[in-house]
Amino acid sequence: MKILVCISHVPDTTAKINFTAGGAALDPNGVQFVINPYDEFGLTKALHLKEKHGGQVTVITFGDATVEATLRKALAIGADDAVRLDGVPTDPMQVAGELAAYAKDQGFDLIICGQESIDYNGGIVPGALAALMNLPFVNACIGLEVDGSNAQLLREIDGGKEQISAALPIVIGGKKGLVEESELRIPNMRGIMTARTKPLAVTPLSGSAALTAASGFTKPAAKAAVQLIDSSNLDELVRRLHEEAKVI
Amino acid sequence: MVLIFAETWNGAFKKSTFEAVQYGAACADAQGSTAVAVVFGPCTPPVESLGAYGASKVIHLHGSDRFEPSAFAQALADLAKELQASQIIVSGTANGKSLAGVLAATSGAAAVSNVTALPRSYSPLTVERSAFSSKGIEQCTSTASCTVLVLIPNALGLKPSSDARAAFEDRNISLAPKSHVGEAHVASGKIPLPEAERVVSAGRGMKAPENWNLVEELAAVLNAGTACSKPVSDIGWRPHSEHVGQTGIQINPQLYIAIGISGAIQHLAGVSGSKTIVVINNDPEAPFFKAADYGIVGDAFDVLPRLTAALKAHLS
């Protein structure tokens, strides 16, 4: 099986988010970047499938040279090779367009994305990539088994789940459930050493247009300090939820 | 004009569908154009009832029962082209999120998700969206002639409806799904978390799964959905489908009550879109209190039955 795992290079969940002067962009100073957690579930699933069916796992991301550390981490976890689309992404349709331009002639059986990235929380790229490649798409994918040229999938729906089957190749937007958190792999020393010599190709962009642009970022207003209510006076909580917060 | 994906579930409209129609109608009003809602498949309430939320017309497509993103996207893209839509409105439900990217690519549109407010301007289209797991607010400008806007459910209040009726048109279509959608399993009698207006959630502070009746009783009084923290779903006390947080489900209810949850940042990333947060924890140092509007330092087994009784008295 030939599997492509699309990776986003994102601020760690615990990072403090600040914006540059005038709110033009994310300020990367002091921010630790990681593999997008949704993508990490997908990468681990790809490695499981490779171990079961044989094949090759390629990871790809779109970014400047600073994202290579994240690609090397994916190689250390077990991916066979990596691709960096050389540019600075600004829009989901541009990202999907560049991924599709790269992937269209490569004969991938399966393309795994995370259902969203935890930086811009867009969730647009996976479905757009599927449509641009004219492939089936399963989002919020929490189960995936491959049987010959077909895939059996589970999709999370509001309040439950749904069974789906599709002929390969397919694109999925994955999340926890593809594998469990306990199955995620931490790179070991051997992985880190071999990752240094695995191929990392830098590919020029194909020229997909960005259709949106951020015109500014702000932080939400700070929350007022918590109002502590004595546990012996729950009627007071009920009163405030009714009169102040107006939620009951 | 503005096109709206009017999602149904089990032949009925969802609350998030009314929000999408109301949003689309407000966009259409601001641009002096019309709002057209699209309904797929069997629908028990009369489709023209969407006029109550501002739709001027409803197109009811027959020949499509189950949601499949490629098929629904093609049908909507065809309509967007025929009617020259400048915006396509989708609510960010499970199906809406599946649809949005496919729809944008199929119709050559831009896409802006996590939308939290009406556009600030229409030429060019500039709209506010939530980013960085609610730690940032982005003003996003689209330069495309058509833009798919994906709304956060519950972010915009639903105005009381009128009894206006929309014009409607039936069309038969033949869709070409790219995947086969099989059996669905939905927990009966439960309120789906992404669209629940109130959510009661609990963590390891409940000590054992058999104590969840206290959580469920509180939720029942509030007509709330029930949720849990990640450790609780990881150890199997509660199903994964109840896990709210970064790798679980993201919610934006009006009221979120967290019981015995310390408030790890990964948990907050999934719930900080909540309008009002109440934290009940016996540890006064629990970090969740910093993110709460109201806090009660106390033992869940003491507080929950009394809170349930107090709310029952208030609501009756």
Candidates B98, B244, B255, partner chain A, best to mutate (most A CBs within 10 A): B98
pLDDT-derived band of residue A105, with 50, 70 and 90 as boundaries?
A: very high
- Binned at pLDDT 50, 70 and 90, residue B159 comes out as confident
Q: What is the DSSP string of B204-264?
A: GGG-SGGGGHHHHHHHHHHT-EEEE-HHHHHTTSS-GGGBBSTTSB----SEEEEES----
A197: DSSP letter: T
pLDDT at B16 over 90: yes
Mean per-residue pLDDT, A4-10: 98
Per-residue pLDDT of B71-125, as tens digits, reads 999 999 999 999 999 999 999 999 999 999 999 999 999 999 999 999 999 999 9
Distance CA(B147)–CA(A185), nearest Å, equals 39
Q: Are B178 and A137 an interchain contact pair (Cβ–Cβ within 8 Å)? A: yes
pLDDT at residue number B107: 98
Cβ <8 Å between A234 and B100 = no
Report the chain A residue with the minimal C-alpha distance to residue B222.
A248
Query: In Å, how far is A114's CA from the nearest CA of chain B?
Result: 11
pLDDT at position A20 is 95
pLDDT at position B105 is 98
Name the burial class of residue A10, with classes exposed (0-12), middle (13-18) and buried (19+) by CB atoms within 10 angstroms of its CB. Answer: buried
Residue B198 touches partner A, C-beta closer than 8 Å = yes
ipTM for the complex? 0.97
> What is the per-residue pLDDT for B78?
98
**Cβ-defined contact of B105 to A128 (cutoff 8 Å):** yes
User: Would an 8 Å CB–CB cutoff place A234 in contact with chain B?
Assistant: yes
Q: How far is CA B119 from CA A115, B30, B201, in A?
A: 25, 9, 33
Q: To the nearest 5 percent, what fractions of chain B are helix, strand and coil?
A: 35, 30, 35
On whether the CB atoms of residues B104 and B113 are closer than 8 A, the answer is no
CB contact under 8 A, B111 and A218: no
Interface check B120 vs A, CB under 8 A: no
**CB atoms A128 and B222 under 8 Å:** no
The reply to whether residue B139 touches residue A91, judged by beta carbons under 8 angstroms, is no
**CA distances from residue B288 to A107, A192, B84, B279, B304 in whole angstroms, order as listed:** 48, 37, 48, 7, 18
* pLDDT range class, residue A212, cuts 50, 70, 90: very high
Model's pTM, two decimal places?
A: 0.96
Taking CB atoms and an 8 Å limit, are A240 and B187 in contact across chains? no
pLDDT for residue A133 is more than 80: yes
Query: DSSP characters for A84-115?
Result: EEES----HHHHHHHHHHHHTTS--SEEEEES
Question: Is B179 touching A (CB cutoff 8 A)?
Answer: yes
Q: Residue B247's pLDDT is what? A: 85
Query: Is residue B160's pLDDT more than 80?
Result: no
3-state SS class at B138: strand
* CA-based nearest distance A225→chain B, Å: 7
The closest CB to that of B269, out of A13, A136, A155, belongs to: A13
**How confident is the model over B294-316, as pLDDT tens digits?**
999 999 999 999 999 999 999 98
Mark yes or no for CB contact A162/B183 under 8 Å: yes
Kindly report the CATH number that applies to the domain delimited by B193-315: 3.40.50.1220
Structural domains present in chain A: 2-220 (3.40.50.620)
Any B CB within 8 A of A197 CB: no
Q: Find the helix or strand (DSSP H, E) in which B60 lies.
A: strand B57-62
Mutation target among B135, B254, B285 for the A interface, most CBs of A within 10 A: B135
**Domain parsing of chain B, residue ranges:** 2-172, 193-315
Which A positions 176-195 lie with beta carbon below 8 A of chain B? 176-177, 180-182
**What pLDDT is recorded for position A174?**
98
Considering only residues 16 to 55 of chain B, which have any Cβ-Cβ distance to chain A shorter than 8 Å?
A: none
Distance CA B79, CA B102 (A): 15
Average pLDDT, stretch A69-98? 98
Fold agreement (B2-172, B193-315): yes
pLDDT digits (tens, 9 = 90+) for A175-206: 999 999 899 999 999 999 999 999 999 999 99
CATH number for the domain running over B2-172: 3.40.50.620
* Average confidence (pLDDT) over A1-26: 95
What confidence category does residue B157 fall into, taking pLDDT thresholds of 50, 70 and 90? confident
Is the predicted pLDDT of residue B30 greater than 90, yes or no?
yes
Residue A78 CA to residue A91 CA, distance in Å, equals 29
pLDDT band at B36 (very low <50, low <70, confident <90, very high): very high
**Residues A64, B8: Cα–Cα separation, whole Å:** 43
Is residue A45 over pLDDT 90? yes
Q: Which of B130, B138, B295 sits opposite A228 (nearest CB)?
A: B295
Tell me: pLDDT of B153 over 90: yes
pLDDT for the residue B162: 83
Residues 74-133 of chain A with CB under 8 A from chain B are 91-93, 96, 115, 118-132
> How far is the C-alpha of B107 from the C-alpha of A132, rounded, in Å?
10
Predicted pLDDT at B129:
98
* Whole-number average pLDDT of chain A: 97
Q: What distance in Å separates residue B288's CA from the closest CA in chain A?
A: 10
